[in-house]
Amino acid sequence: MREIRTRFPGILSEAPAGGDLPQAAVLVPLFEDERGRTRLVLTKRPLTMPTHAGHLAFPGGRPEEGDAGPVETALREAAEEVGIDPAQVEVVGYLPAIHTVEFSLMVVPVVGLLEGVPDLTPSPREVDKVLLPEVDGFFNDESWRFELWRGRKIWFFDIDGEVLWGATAHMVRQLVGLEPPVTRMPPPELIAELGTDQ
């Protein structure tokens, strides 16, 4: 556990406070491949999805009745989306909660170590494609690029012909220590503006 937290400085030992906003959760699945290289499990959402269509994301979603907290939500969603067995996941910590501008949710990333190489079975309704990038590439800040949106940096990373960006990119940067381990909130005026549009 200590080795994991040393390698990934963004991991928190305690779940971040949820605050007053509704919470969702995602699983940040880490595993070692046959050659000992650490990889992440990312999904590409189908273009038919009503939200974040075509985006790269960690498996996750909103809580359902009966979920005891973000860990149960993240594990349940990962099982539904890509077939990760909750019994094969060792929860090692959390990343800071992140505010999703589009739906005014606080998303809690739950970091989990998978037992061996996962045998994934993606849900065709929720997953268009699974990507298993090596984690080492994310540590190189020069491999990232950004654009400014309302004065804020939006980060982008190219993965096998796809582009990681937005909230999930921010989580990955926090995982590897390229962003400070603090909760990110958009400017209050932007939250207010988007709130009036919904």
Structure confidence at residue 195 (pLDDT): 43
Which of 41-55 are b and which e, b meaning 16 or more Cβ less than 10 Å from the residue's Cβ?
bbbbbeeeeeeeeeb
pTM of this prediction? 0.88
pLDDT in tens, 44-78: 987 666 566 678 999 999 999 989 899 999 999 99
Dist CA 176 CA 130 (whole Å): 21
Q: Which domain holds residue 141?
A: 2-197
| CATH number of 186's domain | 3.90.79.10
Taking phi over 0 as left and psi of -120 to 50 as alpha, with beta for the rest, 10 belongs to alpha
Dist CA 84 CA 91 (whole Å): 13
Structure confidence at residue 147 (pLDDT): 94
Structure confidence at residue 3 (pLDDT): 76
3-state secondary structure of 196: helix
**Environment class of 64 (CB within 10 Å of its CB; exposed 0-12, middle 13-18, buried 19+):** exposed
CA geometry: angle at 148 spanning 127 and 55, to 5°? 5
Going residue by residue through the chain, which has 198 residues, state the pLDDT in tens, using 9 for 90 and above: 557 878 898 999 998 876 677 789 999 999 999 999 999 999 998 766 656 667 899 999 999 998 989 999 999 999 999 999 999 999 999 999 998 766 668 899 999 999 999 999 999 999 999 999 999 999 999 999 999 987 888 999 999 999 999 899 999 999 999 998 877 655 444 444 434 333
- Are 170 and 183 within 8 A, CB to CB? no
Dist CA 197 CA 103 (whole Å): 11
- Number of structural domains (the chain) is 1
Phi, psi of 60 (to 5 degrees): 170, -175
- Are 107 and 64 within 8 A, CB to CB? no
Structure confidence at residue 6 (pLDDT): 83
3-state secondary structure of 166: helix
